[in-house]
């Protein structure tokens, strides 16, 4: 497609749909993650990346040499706003960089070193199905108190959250990712949840370790500036549900509406014409005696 003034004009319905899918929208798509291997990666890092690919839905894995400029290009091409970059060199062994982007420019980046790593295949038991939405738990007061750690918590939530769903099947809550911040390290463990019978409705939880386990050390970070972070968080006004006025519900579920009328002139009100009640010539004689004056009935003629 030729570029006219930097704007691509779609020629078919299909390409138009494709562009609309990638255009900025009110309600956004789930974020895709791009997983890249640097020029020199050790066995640990490769295995770690491969394990994480399984964890995160919608991820692409590429073998990309270190060019950071083309990283933006790649993210634009594949429409990915999260990236995970693995590398290994003497100064920074077993390095993983978790990052996310806003408008295809880097927003936040966190460089973590892998101290200890147990791969998926090393832990021999039954794993849970790929693509289940995991539960995320962050433990440790550092995640709340420290600025960098709370931003890291945000980034990790973004990465591992999975697609946003309105409802979840109770029996399908199988997978849990547990992050602990202690002793200057971050321990990431992945467990499978077994719901055991307890006396009441809520089941008792038993955990079984599956999945890769990481001991991370936080190295360099690149946090977004405050105003950029604020711009990234701007929510559109249209998303707030519009409150419908003048509609109320009863305790029985009946829906009530409310009409606002203008002031009516009751003198000139048009009502039904009841012929029998019309004024007749002569007074009406009451049985009990005594005549009463003919009753004046207000009818409109």
Partner 1 sequence: MKKRSRNNSVRKLVTQLMTSNCGAGAVTRAESSMAACSVEDVLAKAERDEAERLKSISVVKELELEFDVGNLLALDKNPVELRGRSQDREELLRALARDNVQLLVNEIWKLPAERTDDVLVVKLPEASTKLPREKPLPKVRPPTKWEQFAKLKGIQKKKKTNLVWDEVHKEWRRRWGYKRAKDDTKEWLIEVPETADPSEDQFAKRNKAKKERVAKNEFNRLRNIARASKTPVAGLGLAPRAQQSKSELAQAVSVARTSTASVGKFQDRLPKEKAPRNTGKKRKFQPLLGDFGNEKQKQLEMLKVMETKKPRLDVTKAVNKQLREDEEEEGRTRRKKGSGKKGDRGKRGAAGGKGKGAKGSKGGKGARSTKGKGRGPHMKQGKR
Mode of pairing for the β-strands spanning 255-257 and 105-118: unpaired
One character per residue 71-90, x = contact with partner 1 (rule: CB under 8 A) = ----------x---------
- Considering only 63, 91, 147, 166, the residue that binds partner 1 (CB under 8 A) is 166
- Across-strand partners of 98? 84, 110
Instruction: For residue 4, state whether it binds partner 1 (rule: CB under 8 A).
Output: no
The rounded distance, in Å, linking the Cα atoms of 177 and 205 is 14
Q: Which is nearer to partner 1, 226 or 301 (CB)?
A: 226
By CB under 8 A, name the one of 167, 259, 269, 286 that touches partner 1.
Answer: 167
Q: Which of 103, 122, 148, 283 binds partner 1 (CB under 8 A)?
A: 103
Size of the site for partner 1 (CB under 8 A): 72
Query: Phi/psi at 205 (nearest 5 deg)?
Result: -100, 130
Residues 232-271 that bind partner 1 (CB under 8 A): 232-236
Alpha carbons 189 and 211: distance in angstroms, whole number: 8
Residue 164 in contact with partner 1, rule: CB under 8 A: yes
Options 13, 28, 242, 282; binder of partner 1; rule CB under 8 A = 28
- 200 vs 261, beta carbon nearer partner 1: 200
Return the residues of window 197-236 that contact partner 1 according to CB under 8 A.
198-207, 209, 224-225, 228-229, 231-236
3-state secondary structure of 292: coil
158 binds partner 1 (CB under 8 A): yes
Q: Which of 3, 24, 258, 270 binds partner 1 (CB under 8 A)?
A: 24
**Which one of the spans 36-44, 185-193, 265-273, 285-293 is the region binding partner 1 (CB under 8 A)?**
185-193
Q: Do residues 97 and 108 make contact, with C-beta atoms less than 8 angstroms apart?
A: no
Q: Is position 115 an interface residue for partner 1 (rule: CB under 8 A)?
A: no
Residue with tokens 């956004």: 28
A 10 A CB-CB count for 55 gives: 20
Rg (CA), the chain: 34
Instruction: Give the tokens for residue 41.
Output: 């990666």
The answer to whether 45 and 88 have CB atoms below 8 angstroms apart is yes
């Amino acid at each position: 497609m030729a570029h006219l003034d930097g704007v691509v004009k779609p020629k078919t319905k299909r390409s138009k749909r494709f562009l609309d899918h990638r255009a900025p929208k009110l309600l956004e798509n789930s974020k895709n993650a791009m997983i890249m291997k640097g020029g020199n990666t050790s066995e640990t890092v490769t295995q770690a990346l491969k394990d994480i690919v399984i964890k995160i839905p919608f991820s692409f894995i590429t073998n990309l040499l270190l060019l950071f400029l083309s990283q933006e290009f790649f993210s634009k091409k594949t429409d990915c706003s999260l990236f995970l970059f693995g590398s290994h060199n003497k100064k920074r062994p077993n390095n993983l960089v978790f990052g996310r982007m806003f408008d295809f420019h880097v927003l936040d980046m966190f460089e973590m070193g892998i101290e200890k790593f147990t791969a998926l295949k090393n832990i021999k038991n039954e794993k849970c199905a790929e693509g289940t939405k995991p539960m995320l738990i962050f433990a440790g007061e550092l995640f709340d108190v420290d600025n960098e750690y709370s931003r890291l918590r945000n980034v990790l939530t973004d990465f591992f959250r999975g697609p946003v769903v309105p409802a979840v099947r109770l029996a399908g809550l199988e997978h849990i990712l547990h992050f602990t911040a202690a002793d200057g390290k971050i321990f990431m463990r992945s467990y499978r949840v077994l719901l055991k019978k307890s006396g009441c409705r809520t089941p008792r939880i038993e955990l079984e370790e599956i999945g890769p386990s990481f001991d991370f050390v936080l190295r360099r970070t690149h946090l977004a500036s405050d105003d950029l972070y604020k711009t990234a968080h701007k929510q559109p006004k249209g998303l707030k549900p519009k409150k419908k006025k003048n509609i109320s519900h009863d305790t029985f579920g009946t829906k009530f509406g409310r009409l606002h009328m203008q002031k009516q002139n009751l003198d000139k009100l048009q009502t039904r014409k009841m012929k029998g009640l019309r004024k007749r010539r002569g007074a009406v004689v009451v049985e009990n005696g005594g005549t009463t004056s003919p009753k004046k009935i207000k009818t409109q003629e």
